[in-house]
Structure 1
Amino acid sequence: MNKLGRQALVDGVQQELVTYLRNGTVNDRAVARWLDITDLNIENLDRLKRIHFCLSDDVVEFAAQLQERLRRVKTANQREREITRGEVRGAVDWPATTRLRYADQSGDRTKFACKTPYTEYNIDQNLVLKKLLWTIHSTVDEDIAAIEYDWRTDAWSDEQIAAFDRTYGRNVHLSRIRNGADIRVTPRMLNTARRSRQALYTDAFTLYDRYQRLLTGAYEDPDISELLSDTLVVPERLPRLFELFCVFRLLRGLRSQAFQLQPIETGSSQLAVLQDENHTVNVYHDRSGSLSFHVPLSELDGIEADYAKRVRNAQNQHQQLTKAFLDNSTEPSLFHGRPDLVIEVYDGEAKGTPGAIVLGEIKYSDRQQTFTRGLEELLKYMEFVQKADCGYLSERDTEMLGLLITDAVEVNDASPAGGQVTHISAQDLLTGNTPTGWIPEAVR
């Protein structure tokens, strides 16, 4: 059985990711953490959207053609009223001059009210253009230029970045338009740019309108969905992409049980929430949810066995030496950690103690040694999982299931020993032949 490669994983994720983002049923902050592909600690989806907007072919092409197209920047001829003494600048406004002189008791005949001509650059379509270029320039300068991967240089080479920077910073026409950071684009400005007869401005409108719709989450629009599909899922780290793939396919499995994904509320820590008439299911990735996987060292208090003494001694020394070496504080514990996946199933609303729990470990590996290590980690999580005020859930009536997902590890039985732990391979997820033993009995 062959391991799933990068392209197969990307293909398996793209459509569902865009669908979930489009209807607001996954936590976009969690997605942003997943798609931290540049090692820039991106945890803000809007920042990630800006980066991928600027990586899109239309934006790169627009920037490449900018220098030539700026030769035809549109301006407006205006006249500014100016009071002069002893000289005339432009046309004299005689009625205003007369009123000016009569207002002055001295009747100074050297005063003139003049209409001085000047060229106005801050017209609506130029403000849209400058705001778009400021958005592109700031994103390229602050985020994209630091990325060292091939897909960055394919879109924005160092030479392209330098050329765009020169154009933006030195072009005489752009320098006369208001600073992009101070421009607030209005619907009237956008409409003026849209109706322009110059392609420079209609293209600027198209791109800035697309950028605004991308930020506001208009994922149902075909061009936004296409942009996301083309650029959003490009993680360099295959294990992270593999986790994305697995979790989305598991969500598909839960939806097949008549559950519907629910929109995520602002500030929620769940990756996704599913509901039917009788149950609520909270899905967490890299989060503990409402559970705890920490066993304090105090659990050994009063136990005088030699092994317990040695564990206490090692943990206490670890705390002291960490403080001495790194000036960091640690909390001695017998066990701590967090599974890759936590699924909590509640009867009715998500309150109190879950009626069922699924804990999952995801390993992008086809090695039996990794399988064994993942299984051991999973069993410990299942043994030590706790809920506040309830103690160890393994000692309560809560249905406890374990899920181990690997890539291309062949096993004798997908769910042996009574079915408490289920193994799923990536190929099962890809083909839809996923065992259902990991789904709690209450919601099958």
Structure 2
Amino acid sequence: MSKLAVDRLVGEVQDELVTFLQSGTIAEEDVVSTLDFTDLEIDDFARLKRIHFCLSDPVVDFVEKLPERVRSIKTANQRERVHTRGEIRGSIDWNQTTKLRHTDSYGDRTVFACESPYVEYDIPENLVLKRLLWVVHRTVERELASFDYAWRREQWSDDQMREFRRLYSRNVHLNRIRDGTDIDPSARDLTAARTSRELLYTEAYDIYDTYRQLQSGQYDDPDVQSLLRETLVVPERLPRLFELFCVFKLIRLLSRLYPQLTLQVIEPGSAEVARLESETLRMEVYHDQQGNLQFHEPLDDIEAETPYFRRYQDVLETHVELMDVFLDRGAGQALYSGRPDIVVEVYEKETDTTLPRRVLLGEIKYTESEQTFARGLRELLEYTRFARIGDTYLHEAADVDVGGLLITDGVEAEDVEGGIRHLTASDIPVHEESVATLLK
């Protein structure tokens, strides 16, 4: 069986991502860790969305057209009333001048009340424009300028960034508008930009409105959904993207297997990627997290009883010592330590026990290789044997059912054997029975 086509992999993740984000039923932190650009180590979803916003075609196109458009930026002619002595600025308001000479400056014929004309740049439309450009400029300076990757240069070349910086900092019209840091567009400002006859301002409103809704989590807006679908998934990270594909498919499958459970809104900072719940059951789904389980076996807790184990214990202890000598840092001294790609825990609410009723441990391998399949199978068996809560090993607990699920991208292998199930990613939606036997 061939690997999943990349366009299908990307397309289905994009669609599911928008759906889950829109309903708030997936942990945004997991999205960040999975869809983050290679090597950027972004752990803030707001920051990630801001980067993707500035990489989107509407923003790039708007900035490219800006040098020509900004020449005809809109202003308002205003008149400011000033009091002068010995000089006249603009037209004299004789009524006010007479009052001034008979009150504060009695008898001083060198005092004038004048109406001095000036050009106002801080009009509502310009405030929206400047705030949008401030968001883009801040992201270019703090984020994009340091990204030396082809995908960045495709949207923002070095020359484009230099031109935008120069325009933003030196353009005489933009400089006369209040600094973007101090601008918080009001409803009146936004309405003025939205209803303007100038394309510069209506486009600025549309793009800034998309940014506001994106950052506030209003994923039901069509423009926000389009931006997420077009920019948020990074195809170059196929193994991680494949994991998210499998996680989404598994969550959908669990929803069908447990129709009495409802996907819950995930609060910020939650460890689980998704949670399903009813009056009697709670199901927690973890991705690249150990959940409430432990998969760590300290070496100090084990007494060596055989010559083989004593030799193995000696190797581990010597390894710790030599790591300190060679690299001046220690090494973990553990008999075993690991973490599954997927942990599903099912709890019965009416019981007093802290142990889950059922546990599904999953390992995902983006491969057609039988050798990688074999490694994944061994890892999965280790997870099922070492998984514990406190001092209780789950596979030894009479009231806990533990199953293992190995997901690959095309290995030809039997799908059921001894509490372990194998599925190919493309078959997840149609293999309800195989997964059901692990959880029911």
Q: TM-score, normalised on structure 1?
A: 0.92
Residue in structure 1 matched with residue 358 of structure 2 by the alignment: 356
Residue in structure 1 matched with residue 345 of structure 2 by the alignment: 344
How many residues end up aligned between the 2 structures? Answer: 436
Q: CA deviation at 1:274?
A: 1.1
Cα distance per residue 1:369-400 (max 9 Å; x no partner): 11111111111111111112x42111102100
Residue in structure 2 matched with residue 424 of structure 1 by the alignment: 423
Q: Mind listing any 5+ residue stretches in structure 1 that lack a counterpart? A: none
CA contact (8 A) 2:38 2:237 kept: no
Residue in structure 2 matched with residue 110 of structure 1 by the alignment: 110
Q: CA deviation at 1:75?
A: 0.8
Q: CA deviation at 1:248?
A: 0.7
Cα distance per residue 1:236-281 (max 9 Å; x no partner): 1110011011111111111111133111022211000012443211
Q: CA deviation at 1:313?
A: 2.9
CA contact (8 A) 2:403 2:438 kept: no
Residue in structure 2 matched with residue 83 of structure 1 by the alignment: 83
**Match 1:437 to one of 410, 418, 434:** 434
Q: CA deviation at 1:148?
A: 4.1
* Higher mean displacement: 38-47 or 363-372: 38-47
CA contact (8 A) 1:422 1:437 kept: yes
Residue in structure 2 matched with residue 72 of structure 1 by the alignment: 72
* Higher mean displacement: 49-58 or 119-128: 49-58
Q: CA deviation at 1:318?
A: 3.1
SS class of match (1:13): helix
* Higher mean displacement: 197-206 or 78-87: 78-87
Alpha-carbon distance between aligned partners in 2 of 1:234 and 1:177, rounded to the nearest angstrom = 37
CA contact (8 A) 2:402 2:438 kept: no
Cα distance per residue 1:23-52 (max 9 Å; x no partner): 000001111111112421122221221222
SS class of match (2:422): strand
Residue in structure 2 matched with residue 170 of structure 1 by the alignment: 170
1:144 maps to amino acid: L
* Higher mean displacement: 43-52 or 59-68: 43-52
Residue in structure 2 matched with residue 219 of structure 1 by the alignment: 219
Residue in structure 2 matched with residue 395 of structure 1 by the alignment: 396
Matched ranges for 1:26-425 at <5 A = 26-104=26-104, 107-257=107-257, 258=259, 259-301=261-303, 303-348=304-349, 352-388=354-390, 390-397=391-398, 398-411=400-413, 413-417=414-418, 420-425=419-424
Q: CA deviation at 1:304?
A: 4.7
Cα distance per residue 1:389-414 (max 9 Å; x no partner): x4211110210000111111111x21
CA contact (8 A) 2:105 2:111 kept: no
CA contact (8 A) 1:38 1:147 kept: no
SS class of match (1:167): helix
* Higher mean displacement: 97-106 or 3-12: 97-106
SS class of match (1:264): coil
Cα distance per residue 1:108-156 (max 9 Å; x no partner): 3323232222111111110100001111222233323443444433322
Aligned CA distance change for structure 1 residues 38 and 139 (closer, same or farther; 3 Å): farther
Q: CA deviation at 1:226?
A: 1.8
Q: TM-score, normalised on structure 2?
A: 0.93
RMSD over aligned CA atoms reads 2.1
1:345 maps to amino acid: V
SS class of match (1:437): helix
Q: Mind listing any 5+ residue stretches in structure 2 that lack a counterpart? A: none
1:288 maps to amino acid: Q
Q: CA deviation at 1:306?
A: 2.7
Calculate percent identity across the aligned residue pairs: 50
Alpha-carbon distance between aligned partners in 2 of 1:273 and 1:349, rounded to the nearest angstrom = 18
